[in-house]
């Protein structure tokens, strides 16, 4: 039976460590502050934004929220980002996705000052991640996965890591993070042939598809480490991951639960990035 990779506990440890760093910054006259922009009324986004606000309060980070109407024009969104870029009291800017389809999210990410891009989506930070530069702000979910692996001393060097999913938010930066940790990495997606044959070779399998229980026990190597990034609601309204947890946990050595795995780490790493941005603003 697999050992549980408790992301909730790793997140707690991470945030506890950040509290002291925030106190030290405040003694130096730096008050770390996050600005969150949300466009529209997406219910899931509201929950995520609320969770980020609570995490800021826990760590001692100041928090500012900007709620924009769904029918705003791109120039209005860019104008707000520009204003926040120029405010010395704001250390991090987060644009909650998704945003309405009439707006260009990539243009918005590109307009966020790379030094305040605590979500790690500005092309400059993406490029720095690819180059392995330590001053990069790394996308929070992949960064959280790496921290879980480190906390549980799971070796990545020379291991075969397989990532299912190629999104800009998880799959692609996850590939790069694992590569930077000296893993041999394969990325799979909806056009991949013989998916099961590839996943069976994975020492570390990261699943970020967005479909419940897609990965089954027959797709997993005995003794593998399974990281489930998926968050899906079943017919009963319960949250479940992209991995068939019950069956796969009988075969894997380590596995993240859903909920309580990667999710809490995403927010913890946002806090980490914000504190880093505040420290580097000196």
Nearest-CA neighbor of 173 among 138, 217, 128?
A: 138
Catalytic residue flag (residue 15): no
Structure tokens at 32: 């770390």
Beta-carbon contacts of 74 under 8 Å, excluding residues fewer than 6 positions away, are 102, 103, 104, 107, 108
Nearest-CA neighbor of 232 among 268, 265, 258, 205?
A: 258
Nearest-CA neighbor of 264 among 239, 229, 237?
A: 229
Fold matches, 29-116 and 140-263: yes
Q: Which residues are paired to 39 by β-bridges?
A: 68
**Residue with token string 């980020």:** 52
Nearest-CA neighbor of 119 among 136, 100, 104, 99?
A: 136
pLDDT digits 0-9 by tens, 2-28: 999 999 999 999 999 999 999 999 999
How high is the pLDDT of residue 44? 84
% helix, strand, coil for the chain, step of 5: 45, 15, 40
Q: What is the pLDDT along the chain (282 residues), one digit of tens a residue?
A: 999 999 999 999 999 999 999 999 999 999 999 999 999 988 888 989 999 999 999 999 999 999 999 999 999 999 999 999 999 999 999 999 999 999 999 999 999 999 999 999 999 999 999 999 999 999 999 999 999 999 999 999 999 999 999 999 999 999 999 999 999 999 999 999 999 999 999 999 999 999 999 999 999 999 999 999 999 988 888 999 999 999 999 999 999 999 999 999 999 999 999 999 999 997
CATH of 140-263, one of 3.40.1170.20, 3.50.50.60, 3.40.1500.10, 3.40.50.720: 3.40.50.720
∠ at Cα 124 (10, 282), nearest 5°? 70
| Residue 164: φ, ψ to 5° | -100, 115
CB 181 within 8 A of CB 158: no
**Residue with token string 């500005």:** 122
How high is the pLDDT of residue 235? 85
Catalytic residue flag (residue 96): yes
- CATH number of the structural domain 29-116: 3.40.50.10860
- Which of the following is catalytic: 6, 15, 21, 96? 96
CB 226 within 8 A of CB 254: yes
- Which of the following is catalytic: 6, 21, 115, 119? 119
pLDDT digits 0-9 by tens, 209-220: 999 999 999 999
For 185: left if phi > 0, alpha if psi spans -120 to 50, otherwise beta; the answer is beta
Q: Domain map of the chain by residue range?
A: 29-116, 140-263
How high is the pLDDT of residue 282? 79
Rounded CA gap, 282 and 267, in Å? 24
Length of the chain: 282
- Which of the following is catalytic: 33, 52, 128, 213? 52
């Amino acid at each position: 039976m697999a050992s549980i990779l408790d992301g909730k506990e790793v997140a707690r440890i991470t945030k506890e460590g950040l509290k002291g760093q925030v106190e030290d910054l405040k003694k130096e006259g730096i008050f770390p502050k996050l600005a969150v922009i949300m466009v529209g009324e997406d219910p899931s986004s509201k929950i995520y934004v609320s969770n980020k606000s609570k995490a800021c309060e826990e760590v001692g980070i100041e928090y500012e929220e900007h709620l924009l109407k769904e029918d705003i024009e791109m120039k209005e969104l860019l104008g707000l980002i520009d204003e926040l870029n120029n405010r010395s009291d704001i250390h991090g800017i987060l644009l909650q996705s998704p945003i309405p389809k009439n707006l260009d999210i990539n243009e918005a990410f590109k307009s966020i000052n790379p030094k305040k891009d605590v979500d790690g989506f500005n092309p400059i930070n993406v490029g720095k991640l690819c180059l392995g530069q330590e001053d990069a702000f790394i996308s929070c979910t992949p960064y959280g996965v790496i921290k879980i692996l480190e906390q549980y001393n799971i070796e990545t060097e020379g291991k075969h890591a397989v990532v299912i999913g190629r999104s800009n938010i998880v799959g692609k930066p996850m590939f790069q993070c694992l590569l930077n940790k000296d893993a041999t990495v394969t990325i799979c997606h909806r056009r991949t042939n013989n998916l099961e044959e590839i996943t069976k070779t994975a020492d570390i399998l990261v699943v970020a598809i967005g479909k419940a229980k897609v990965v089954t026990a027959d797709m997993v190597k005995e003794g593998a480490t399974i990281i489930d990034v998926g968050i899906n609601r079943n017919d009963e309204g319960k949250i479940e991951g992209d991995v068939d947890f019950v069956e796969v946990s009988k075969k894997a050595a380590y596995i993240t639960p859903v909920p309580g795995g990667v999710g809490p780490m995403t927010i913890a790493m946002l806090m980490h990035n914000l504190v880093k941005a505040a420290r580097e603003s000196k």
